Structure 1
Amino acid sequence: MENHLEVRAATTSLVISLFASTCAHAGDQLPTGAKIGDLIFREGTEVVSAAVLAVDRGTFSHVGMLVRDAGQWKVVHATPSEVAGRPDSVVLDDLRFYLDPARSRRHAVFQVQATELQRESAVSFALKQVGRPFSMMASEDGTYCTTLIWQAWRDAGKNLEVTFTRLNIPLMQGDYLLPGVLAKSRHLRKLDEPAQSIASGQR
């Protein structure tokens, strides 16, 4: 009986340790100083990612907003479906899922120069959009990754002072906010690379 209890205790301890390690690793993918409301850009791996990069001629094809949920880092973003059966929409994903190599070749975090109250307001707006359809067409019903971010911060009273680019190509006709343009906003500051990127893996 005692041996059985010891095994159960050891197993429970192992599970807790693995869970804590997983959470810590997710946090290590962020640079020191990252806050809710900050923007996390990535270079995607999909065909649509290549198309965006070709048009934008920038480094990143997608962007989301960092939020905290139940003590964990997550990303709210507007995206074509990345999970079978999930519609193209605004979604809330775990940070590890968002940065998985299957979906991200590289990433960077840009901090928005704003007050804490504006951060909370921007995050609140973005989270309220979860479930809203993803659409690259001009529509009041749908949104795409950069406009979700722009709208959230505009609603919070923060003008990111970005310009929309006029495009006239198949499937993309109209004025669009490209990731590269958003990343160059004077109200954003790129944060340093996370310490976890060092070969030793120590913070």
Structure 2
Amino acid sequence: MKPARAALRRLGGALVLALLGAAAQAADLLAPGARAGDLIFREGTEAVSAAVMAVDRGAYSHVGMLVGQPGNWQVVHATPSEVRGRPDGVVVDALAFFLDPRRSRRHAVYHVEAGDEARQRAVALALSMQGRPFRIADPAGTYCTELVWKAWRDAGMDLDVRFTSLALPLLPGNYLLPSDLLASPRLRPLAPATPLPARS
């Protein structure tokens, strides 16, 4: 019985170290200079991501807004549920969760060219939408690109984007696609973080 307990303790210690390493790695995945209010795009792994990519023909299928600070980054985003029992809607997730390979193939951070006051207002507005349903054609809800665009617009920063007209079955209309948002002259891509050297 003692060897089994010792093995469990070793396994538990290894698990804690792995989790701490994953959190540190997620923090290091962000580009230097990232700030709360900046936008983080990802290419998702789910069927809905493939559908967005097919319609948009862009590089990314989803976007959220960074909130928090280095070492404790979170992402506020509007999404179909990614957690069992959680409804579709606007949620705040840890950066490590948002970028987990089960949900993200790759990502990029874009800096919003804005002053500190507008940045603080945009973050507060995005966070105030927590719990709003995820909907693509319902004013009572919102979707990922619309969430971050509205937060910055209502904070006084026009991202100067163009919506795309889509003849979707049952849901025709004008939509803000990820590539539309990426074309904003107010966004600047941040260089990716330099990977940490491998530990020997």
Q: Same fold (TM over 0.5)?
A: yes
Cα shift at 1:27: 1.4
TM-score by length of 2: 0.86
Which residue of structure 2 aligns with residue 51 of structure 1? Answer: 51
- Measure the CA separation in 2 of the matches of 1:59 and 1:172: 23
Q: Which stretch has the larger CA shift, 90-99 or 171-180? A: 171-180
- Measure the CA separation in 2 of the matches of 1:146 and 1:78: 8
Cα shift at 1:47: 0.9
Which residue of structure 1 aligns with residue 143 of structure 2? Answer: 144
Q: Is the 8 A contact 2:27 2:71 kept in 1?
A: no
* 2:124 match: secondary structure: helix
Q: Is the 8 A contact 2:53 2:61 kept in 1?
A: yes
Q: Which runs of 5+ in 2 are unaligned?
A: 1-13
The CA RMSD over aligned residues, in Å, is 2.3
Residue 42 (str. 1) matches residue 46 (str. 2) = no
Q: Is the 8 A contact 1:160 1:186 kept in 2?
A: yes
Q: Is the 8 A contact 1:79 1:88 kept in 2?
A: yes
- Measure the CA separation in 1 of the matches of 2:125 and 2:160: 19
Q: For residues 93-147 of structure 1, give each alpha carbon's deviation from its aligned partner in whole angstroms, at most 9, with x where no partner exists.
A: 000000001000010000000001111100000000010000011x221000000
TM-score by length of 1: 0.85
Query: 1:78 is matched by which residue type in structure 2?
Result: A
- Measure the CA separation in 2 of the matches of 1:172 and 1:53: 17
Cα shift at 1:69: 7.0
Which residue of structure 1 aligns with residue 7 of structure 2? Answer: none
Q: Is the 8 A contact 1:26 1:73 kept in 2?
A: no
Q: For residues 11-43 of structure 1, give each alpha carbon's deviation from its aligned partner in whole angstroms, at most 9, with x where no partner exists.
A: xxx999777655432210101000000000000
* 2:172 match: secondary structure: strand
Q: Is the 8 A contact 1:23 1:72 kept in 2?
A: no
Which residue of structure 2 aligns with residue 128 of structure 1? Answer: 128
Q: Is the 8 A contact 2:23 2:96 kept in 1?
A: no
Residue 113 (str. 1) matches residue 110 (str. 2) = no
Q: For residues 161-184 of structure 1, give each alpha carbon's deviation from its aligned partner in whole angstroms, at most 9, with x where no partner exists.
A: 001111112254111000011011
Percent identity, aligned pairs only?
A: 56
Query: 2:146 is matched by which residue type in structure 1?
Result: T
